[in-house]
Structure 1
Amino acid sequence: MTGAKPEFSGLKDALKRVWEVKGVYYRRMAEMGISPDDVNSMEDFQSLPLTTKEDIRDSYPTGMMACDQAKVVRFHASSGTTGKPTVVPYSAKDLDIWTQCMAQCLRTAGVTEKDVFQVILGYGLFTGALGFHYGAEAVGAAVVPTGGGFTDRQLTLMEDLGTTVFTSTPSYALHLCEEIEARGIRDRLKLRLAILGGEAWTEAMRDEIESRLGVVALNSYGLSEILGPGVAMECPDKVGMHFNDEHFFVEILDEAGRPLPVGEEGEIVITSFTKEAFPLIRYRTRDLGRLVEARCSCGRSGLMLDRVKGRNDDMLIIRGVNVFPSQIEAALGQVPGLTLNYIIEVEEKGHLKDMTVLCESRDFLDPGQGKELFNRSSSRLKEILGIRVNFRLLEPGTLDRSTGKAVRLRKVS
Structure 2
Amino acid sequence: MLKIGIIGAGAAGFFSAIHAAEGGAKVTILEKTSKVLAKVKISGGGRCNVTHAAFENPQLIKNYPRGEKFLKKVFGHFSVKDTVDWFESRGVKLKVEQDGRMFPVSDDSQSIIDALQQAARALQVETIFNFPVIEIRKVGDGFQVISEKKTLEFDRLIVCIGGFPKIQGFDFLQKLGHTIIPPVPSLFTFNTPNEPIKKLMGISVPDAFVRLEGTKLAYRGPLLITHWGVSGPAVLKLSAFGAQWLFDQDYHANAHIRWVHDLSEEDTLDKLNRFKHEHPKKKIMGNPLFGIPTRLWEHLAEKSDIESQFLWYEIPKKQLNKLVQNLFCYIVAIEGKTGFKEEFVTAGGVDLNEVHPDTMESKIVKNLFFSGEVVNIDGITGGFNFQAAWSTGYLAGKSSKINA
Q: TM-score range by the shorter chain?
A: under 0.3
User: Scaled by the length of structure 1, what TM-score is found?
Assistant: 0.21
User: Scaled by the length of structure 2, what TM-score is found?
Assistant: 0.21
Structure with larger Rg? 2
RCO higher in structure (CA 8 A, sep ≥6): 2
Higher helix share: 2
